[in-house]
Amino acid sequence: MTNQTVPELQHRTVLLEEAVEALHIDGERANGVYVDGTFGRGGHSRRILERLGPQGRLIAFDKDPQAIATASTIGDARFQIVHDSFATLSDALNARGIAQVDGILLDLGISSPQVDEAARGFSFRLDGPLDMRMDTTRGMSAAEWLATEAEQTIGKVIKDYGEERFAFQIAKAITARRTVAPISTTRQLAEIVAHAVKTREKGKDPATRTFQAIRIYINKELEELEIGLDAAFEKLAPHGRLAVISFHSLEDRIVKRFMASKANAPQPDRRLPIRAVDLPQPQLKLLAKMKPSDAEVAGNPRARSAIMRVAQRTTVALGSSASSALPGSAP
């Protein structure tokens, strides 16, 4: 069967109120321009639209055709959807004549409908075609990649992106199996991994790390995150907010390092005769690191690994200081 779904796990937007609050959409800022880099099923976008003033604008991005179909039902002149990755943010905004924006939100998780629809191939719990593409209209599927890639490369991907200690045993099992028959379904891959993985953490399926690794690689998630963060930073207006929700350590590490690199200006040798006013100044101010509440995790177990980091663009280019952090939060 390839049309299985898990109806009890409908998509619930993680950190919905906290993320939109972090963008600080009020006063004059309510008529600004905002970006939802990962529309998903529109939870964050709809809440942002509720906060926007009549002159405000929201540009949303998503690679998933189903997300684009959902976005097309939003009949609001202030809203536009772009069928592409947020890595294309800079070009997309330039094409719309937008030089700067007041806030950018990136929710890096995959949506429950993607996981719960077997035909998408993201889940090892449901048997379906081994696809894993966020955008099913372009690119190579996971099955096609596994059919042609070298064993060493498969092992490296599973090790680096899945942090899987049995990565090369899994890769060896995959390449041995494909000489007998194509690996075309999620169940086939999950069974191969289960036989190759000797031990696993309690309560975690042996296939978890392998499926994560292949999904990240197929969709170029980490590369696009790095490109998207650079583009977001360049497009943020002074006092503009950047909020990023990540769901695993690889993503969060990239976000944390990026924000820290912009918040900690490199300092020259103290022996050099440089005036304090001429010293490099931070370009971002770290505002918050948040996790879902116990209540949210109880109602939505998939939120348990989420971490949101929030930063604000300083006014270094204008020669003035950055504004205050979110009330009640700490970096």
Closest CA to 167 of 182, 180, 181, 152: 152
- The parent domain of residue 277 ranges over 16-112+221-318
In-domain check, residue 165:
yes
Indicate which CATH number applies to the domain containing 297.
3.40.50.150
Domain end, chosen from 160, 187, 218, is at 218
**Which of 230, 269, 185 is closest to 4 using CA atoms?**
185
> Span 268-288, mean pLDDT?
73
For the entire predicted model, the pTM comes to 0.87
pLDDT digits (tens, 9 = 90+) for 203-231: 788 999 999 999 999 999 999 999 999 99
pLDDT for res 318: 37
More confident of the two residues 149 and 119: 149
How confident is the model at residue 274, as a pLDDT? 65
Is 44 known to sit in a ligand binding site? yes
Q: Final residue of a domain: which of 161, 195, 218?
A: 218
User: 107: annotated binding-site residue?
Assistant: yes
86 is in an annotated binding site: yes
Q: Does position 37 have pLDDT exceeding 60, yes or no?
A: yes
> Residue 329 above 70 pLDDT?
no
62 is in an annotated binding site: yes
> Domain for residue 174, yes or no?
yes
Instruction: For residue 63, count CB atoms less than 10 angstroms from its CB and return exposed for 0-12, middle for 13-18, buried for 19 or more.
Output: buried
Q: Which band of pLDDT confidence, cut at 50, 70 and 90, is reported for residue 10?
A: low
Residue written as token pair 């390839």:
2
